């Protein structure tokens, strides 16, 4: 029970029923009232500030916790190529390379494992700096 509720209950038991109406009146005649109408705005301001501060701090703590948990999730790099496999492995024979081949490192290529230039769009959209792996054959 709050202090105001306890004070109100003590008022109703200590005073006869006809004096209950004076509890909320603006007169300062009763010295045993919790707070008069003139004092009410300043009397409860401290509680309001504490409740508001607690509410704001609770919201900040909750927002921080949610943001922290979401940041722990690792972003997936490969969102397109052989997603059903645990690990994507491609093998290319040196004879197939010929003079020069560019291999994709951004996982966005339609011709994976070969580069088709999709990293350019990816870099422009994200500010990343990924490029292809270029392998030259010995001739």
Q: What is the pLDDT of residues 69-94, one digit of tens each?
A: 888 877 777 888 888 888 888 888 87
Q: Which domain holds residue 14?
A: 1-38
What is the torsional sign of CA 40, 44, 49, 51?
negative
Instruction: Note every long-range contact of 83-91, with CB atoms under 8 Å and residues 24 or more positions apart, other chains counting.
Output: none
Residue 48 lies in a domain: no
pTM, rounded to two decimals = 0.44
Residues recognised as catalytic: 87
In a domain, 43, yes or no: no
Asked if residue 85 belongs to a domain, the reply is yes
Which comes out higher in pLDDT, residue 21 or 67?
Answer: 67
Kindly state the percentage of the chain with pLDDT values over 70. Answer: 68
Q: Domain containing 81 — which CATH number?
A: 3.40.5.90
CB 38 within 8 Å of CB 28? yes
- Give tens-digit pLDDT for 20-61: 444 444 444 455 555 555 655 665 778 888 999 999 999 999
Residue 26: strand, helix, or coil? coil
SS3 100: strand
State residue 65's pLDDT score: 94
Assess if residue 108 is contained within a domain. yes
Q: Are residues 84 and 34 in the same domain?
A: no
**Strand positions, DSSP E, 37-131:** 100-103
How many structural domains does the chain have?
Answer: 2
The answer to whether residues 84 and 134 belong to one domain is: yes
């Amino acid at each position: 029970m709050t202090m105001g509720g306890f004070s109100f209950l003590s008022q109703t038991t200590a005073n006869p029923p006809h004096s209950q109406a004076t509890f909320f009146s603006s007169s300062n005649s009763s010295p045993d009232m919790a707070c008069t109408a003139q004092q009410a705005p300043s009397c409860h301001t401290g509680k309001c500030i504490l409740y508001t501060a607690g509410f704001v701090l609770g919201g900040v703590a909750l927002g921080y916790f949610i943001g922290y948990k979401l940041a722990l999730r690792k972003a997936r790099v490969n969102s397109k190529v052989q997603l059903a496999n645990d690990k994507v492995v491609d093998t290319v024979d040196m004879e197939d390379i010929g003079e020069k081949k560019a291999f994709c490192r951004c996982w966005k290529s339609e011709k994976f494992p070969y580069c088709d230039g999709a990293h350019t769009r990816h870099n422009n959209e994200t500010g990343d700096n990924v490029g292809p792996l270029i392998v030259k054959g010995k001739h």
